[in-house]
Amino acid sequence: MRSLESSRLPVLALASVFAISCTSGARPSPITDVNIAQLVREYAAAISSGDADRFVAQFTDDCEFEDVPFKVIARGKSELRDFAISTYQAIPDFRMEVRAVTVADSTAVVEWIQSGTQRGPLGSLAASGTRYSVKTASILKFRGGKIRRAVDYWDLATTYKQLGHLKEDFLP
């Protein structure tokens, strides 16, 4: 017959494995996920405000913002503010409608719809006065409650087609 102490060993071993797996995983605590999800909502409100200073305030001083389709990399708040101002001049009603947010550690992957009306020049393209709406994905890396790095991916050809700047019918 086993003693009471020896019958507890499997239970203690199982409890130890459970405790180690719950505390040593790469996944952050749910409160971190909630905080970052809230920061993403604040970012969406700021980028949709048309206020370059409010938008830039979401970022660290040493931030990096990359708009992949436009091949723009803004380093630091000054360059980011210039990019935001040029975007708002071209698309004063620029909006970010968040569809989904996935958080891991200090990074958020955001699926969203970007939309607006081109009221001013967009690079070398004259204002079309036309609305557009395009699916966008962003990767946001946070540090100290601010965005350290942001990378945006969206379909430039579809956007240009919607705005009337792409006349070819090679897109569905």
> 3-state DSSP call for residue 119?
coil
Q: In total, how many domains does the chain have?
A: 1
Q: In 10 A of CB 123, how many CB atoms?
A: 8
Spatial CA neighbour of 114 closest among 130, 131, 102, 101: 131
Assess if residue 11 is contained within a domain.
no
Range of the structural domain that residue 123 is part of = 27-163
More confident site: 18 or 75: 75
Q: In this structure, what CATH number is given to the domain that contains residue 108?
A: 3.10.450.50
Assess if residue 59 is contained within a domain.
yes
Assess if residue 172 is contained within a domain.
no
pLDDT attached to residue 34? 77
Assess if residue 140 is contained within a domain.
yes
pLDDT attached to residue 172? 61
- What single string gives the DSSP state of each residue in 61-113? EEEEEEETTTTEEEEHHHHHHHHHHHHHHH-TT-EEEEEEEEEETTEEEEEEE
pLDDT attached to residue 8? 40
pLDDT attached to residue 130? 97
Q: In 10 A of CB 49, how many CB atoms?
A: 15
Spatial CA neighbour of 80 closest among 159, 136, 153, 150: 150
- For the beta sheet containing 146-154, the strands, ordered from the edge strand earlier in sequence to the opposite edge, are 72-75, 59-67, 146-154, 131-143, 107-117, 95-104
pLDDT attached to residue 170? 58
**pLDDT tens per residue across span 120-151:** 999 899 999 999 999 999 999 999 999 999 99
**pLDDT tens per residue across span 27-41:** 444 446 779 999 999
**169 pLDDT tier (thresholds 50, 70, 90):** low
Q: What is the token pair recorded at 73?
A: 């990399």
**pLDDT tens per residue across span 54-113:** 999 999 999 999 999 999 999 999 999 999 999 999 999 999 999 999 999 999 999 999
More confident site: 41 or 14: 41
Assess if residue 50 is contained within a domain.
yes
**107-117 vs 95-104, strand pairing mode:** antiparallel
Assess if residue 1 is contained within a domain.
no
Say if residue 1's pLDDT is above 50.
no
The torsion of the CA quartet 90, 93, 94, 96, rounded to 10 degrees, works out to 180
Spatial CA neighbour of 140 closest among 109, 113, 114, 111: 109
Say if residue 17's pLDDT is above 80.
no
pLDDT attached to residue 29? 45
H or E stretch at 102: strand 95-104
| Terminal-residue alpha carbon distance, the chain | 76
Distance CA 54, CA 127 (A): 25
Assess if residue 8 is contained within a domain.
no
pLDDT attached to residue 33? 73
